[in-house]
Amino acid sequence: MGSVVVAVTGASSGVGRATAQAFAREGATVGLIARGQEALAATASEVQSLGGRPVVLECDVADPQALETAAGILEEHGEIGVWVNNAMASVFAPTWEITVDEFRRVTEVTYLGVVYGTLCALSRMRSRDRGVIVQVGSALAYRGIPLQSPYCACKHAIQGFTESLRCELMHEGSGVRVTMVQLPAMNTPQFDAVRTRLPRHPQPVPPIYQPEVAARAIVAAANEPARREWWVGASTAVTLLGNALAPGVGDRYLAKTGFDAQQTDEPVQAGRPDNLFAPLPGERSAHGDFDKQAKPRSVQWELTRHRRLVGAGAVVAAGLVGIGAMRRGR
């Protein structure tokens, strides 16, 4: 990737931080867009040590003017070739326990932050007729789950927004590409920082994957943007296919299992701080608390990534089986 300039929102922790590291390994200039000076400084140090050029851009993606300013500063370091919309916020609680202000804030960060980032990218990429926008989605873009209604709604909205935009770009014959990466449950620090009203500590729904799995998929999507959507993790594929075929079954299953599956056995501490409206102090890594359970690789992703080779191998294998059968029949 070399001299490419990449913008990554939500770059200070979790999937965004792992993505910044992955692009740094390819020698890219990486614009680190997030809140929190300490976490951004730590991410910048990692990017530099991995061979990338970090550009720290402290801002809130919910502020379109601040995001536009950040994009302008990043372009001083070169043409933005890839824009990754990844920033997110959430509230873990039943819908009726979430306030109007909380719904608004999650929407402003998780959905409108993607819209604002996309507009920043488009205002530069369309005139040059090139560039890639990667929307970081989730299996929850198709299948809502209990206790995360604002977040699920935002991921659904991103899906619809991206499909509309893709059609518009195709209509004008644009060289700008937009793709979406649908992720499974990830081992990120968000579960320590998210606002929650659950009695027990929130957790990702197993199976859980390490953020580097997502980062590899995001880099691949940036390098191969012709594919409209990427599914990462077998659980994502099962969820999306199952929801398309039998959504009512999913409703009943999640009503029974979705509450316990999103909580550990540890109680939530009273007065626990969160990052919904302001960043938490200190430095957070790409990984969360679930390293022991998290998978470092996804076989499904590897097969998807090399699906043409896998398909050719299947054809060859079928041919060999057929030849063997004919020989035995002689």
Residue 310: what pLDDT? 42
CA 289 to chain centre: 18
Residue 283: what pLDDT? 86
- Identify whether 151 is a catalytic site residue: yes
Give the domains, in start order, of the chain with CATH numbers: 5-297 (3.40.50.720)
Does residue 57 contact residue 31 with C-beta atoms inside 8 Å? yes
Residue 299: what pLDDT? 83
pLDDT, one tens digit per residue, over 267-319 is 999 899 999 999 999 888 999 999 999 998 888 867 877 655 444 443 434 44
Query: Number of C-alpha atoms within 13 angstroms, CB side, residue 174?
Result: 23
pLDDT higher than 80, residue 39 = yes
Catalytic residue among 116, 142, 151, 209: 151
- In terms of Cα–Cα distance, which of 214, 225, 220, 197 is closest to 298? 214
pLDDT, one tens digit per residue, over 181-191 is 999 999 999 99
Distance CA 148, CA 259 (A): 10
pLDDT, one tens digit per residue, over 206-225 is 999 999 999 999 999 999 98
pLDDT, one tens digit per residue, over 229-247 is 999 999 999 999 999 999 9
N- to C-terminal Cα separation, the chain: 55
Residue 116: what pLDDT? 98
SS3 assignment, position 143? coil
Does residue 158 contact residue 135 with C-beta atoms inside 8 Å? yes
pLDDT, one tens digit per residue, over 136-189 is 999 999 999 999 999 999 999 999 999 999 999 999 999 999 999 999 999 999
Does residue 203 contact residue 290 with C-beta atoms inside 8 Å? yes
